[in-house]
Chains A and B, each alone.
Chain A
Amino acid sequence: MITGARTTTRIAYAAAGALLLVVGAQLIGQFELAGKAWPPLTDVLAYVATPSGSSLIQRNLLVTLGAAGQGFVIGSAVALLGATAALLVPILRPGLDRFAAILNAVPTIALAPLLITTAGREGTPAVIAALSVGFVMFVATTSGFAATSAPQQDLLTVFGASRRRRLALLELPRSVPAFVDGLTLAAPAAILGATIGEWFGAPQGIGLLLVSAMQNYQMALLWAAALAATLASLVAYLLLVQMQRVAVRRFS
């Protein structure tokens, strides 16, 4: 009973918060409190509702999502392999850990010149997305492997489990929550990485749209593109949070 009532108030609060956000943004635009660069939300929605507006956003969003999705899959897979290698070959471990920390701090924009040479302007968004995801996932997975407690390790050692068995019985399952935890961070990172990649002269994509709308003072388009990117990022995040709940229930 009480918990039910609590959930209801929580949802009511969240709805109030969402409403506040939307109404606030609308009013700021309406009264030009932040100047002309902040249009009323209704203008943005009206723009999205026009056939040309909606098709422009949709087309570019799909391109960005494609690049982000590719990067997400490749980045996670490579990070998982790398972290497993680091676990199995202990001598590599301190070096790789340190390298992961450094990689995590590399501003992705700094990779752009390298990528434009290697991946080309069209490939860059997916590669930056993959790198961003890879950094996040490598750190998450290694910390997941480290999360197995000493008593558990001791238990398996006492039972005479081999290194491979230990990996299969203990470290892989135990690292699932941390891995999925990482995925919730990696999904928005993939979208961010893809849009950064698109800033460097990609022919299509939300990132390109954002820059060109800004430079040409197309405020409705700029806001519509920003909203689309935010929604994509939010939806990806929420989907993975759901997955994380399942994983946590199952593996910890």
Chain B
Amino acid sequence: MSRLRAVGAGALHLWPVALVLVLWDLWVVLNGYTATVAPRPWDVIADVVDGFGDYLPYTAYTLGMSLGGLVGGTIVGFVGAVLVWWSAALSGVVTPAALVIRSVPITAMIPIIARVVGYGDPAVLASTVLICFFPAFVFTLSALTAIPDSGRDLFRVLGAGRAQLLGRYGVLHALPSLMVSVRITAPTAVLSAMLAEFLMGANGLGALFSRARSYMDMERAWGTALVATVVSVVVFILARLLERRVADRVS
């Protein structure tokens, strides 16, 4: 009973979403837009529901690319940070460079990756991996350099070496920061997968969107945007759930 009520309250708190749908519909109707300019929300939702089979492979592709990039980039970034932490000199050299590369806008990175890697799946995946790599690297490294003195002291009096400090303390201490990076990059991974797909136009929601736009199929274009939003929000919520789980377990 209280569970039911909690779900009800949760749904009530989604009022801004409902408001957006209503405003969207009003805006279309009041301006008298035709379906080729701006479709009504109900038509878009109907298109997604009716064309579920059409959307599915594209959605799966984008989801796969985003999650693959998110997991891959995060792991590579974490391992890279751990390796670099091992040497103070190396981390001093690499960290500023990583910060610079991190500020390359993905809109500048993707065209270059597309040209260097070649159009296709590897380029899409490379984009998402690279974009998730740098935050994971930076967050992990800064957590490792901020290992509390009390932890350091503890392992020193226990006679632990650097490897033990890392394995028994550093890695777990850095885990919450890594999860913050996962949460922050999760929507970016979806965005960059879509931008790469949009630019290269072979597969995925980005490509579907690009195609619908050039055929002036506005319901499909808006539908793609809607599905992409849902995918991104779901990935984000999952990442946030994971972050909370980990933070709860580790601290």
Contacts and interface: CB of A to CB of B under 8 A. Distances in A.
A70 interface: no
Contact of B93 (A13, A106, A196): A13
A98 B16 contact: yes
B194 to A, nearest CB: 5
A110 B17 contact: no
A107 B213 CA distance: 17
Contacts of B195: 109, 196, 199
Contacts of B222: 113-114
Contacts, number: 158
Given A13-B92, A16-B93, A226-B112, A196 B107 contact: yes
A225 B93 CA distance: 26
A144 interface: no
Given A210-B111, A230-B105, A114 B116 contact: no
Contact of B103 (A14, A114, A233): A233
B232 A107 contact: yes
Secondary structure at the A interface, as helix, strand, loop or mixed, is helix
Interface residues of B, number: 55
Interface string B207-248: 001000100001001101110110011011100100000000
A230 B93 contact: no
A195 B105 contact: yes
A96 B226 CA distance: 20
A17 B37 contact: no
Contact of B105 (A9, A38, A233): A233
Contact of B221 (A113, A214, A237): A113
Interface string B88-106: 0100111111001101111
Interface stretch (B151-159, B162-170, B173-181, B184-192): B184-192
Interface string B64-104: 00000000000000000000000001001111110011011
Most buried by A among B16, B115, B222, B233: B115
A14 B92 CA distance: 6
Nearest to A223: B112
Contacts of A99: 16-17
Nearest to B115: A37
B55 interface: no
Interface in B1-36: 12-17, 33
Contacts of B116: 34-35, 37-38
A113 B93 contact: no
Interface size class of A (residues with CB under 8 A): 35 or more
Given A95-B14, A117-B37, A110 B229 contact: yes
Nearest to B113: A37
A106 B232 contact: yes
Nearest to A107: B191
Interface string A108-132: 1111111001000000000000000
B199 interface: yes
Given A10-B92, A105-B237, A222-B112, 11 more contacts: A94-B13, A96-B16, A98-B16, A107-B190, A109-B225, A196-B195, A207-B107, A214-B111, A214-B112, A226-B104, A234-B100
Interface of A: 9-10, 13-14, 16-18, 20-21, 34-35, 37-38, 94-96, 98-99, 101-102, 104-114, 117, 188, 191-192, 195-196, 199, 206-207, 210-211, 213-214, 217, 219, 222-223, 225-226, 229-230, 233-234, 237
Interface of B: 12-17, 33, 37-38, 89, 92-97, 100-101, 103-109, 111-112, 114-116, 186-187, 190-191, 194-195, 198-199, 206, 209, 213, 218, 221-222, 224-226, 228-229, 232-233, 235-237, 240
Going nearest first, the 5 A-B pairs with the smallest beta carbon separation are A13-B92, A110-B225, A37-B115, A105-B236, A99-B16
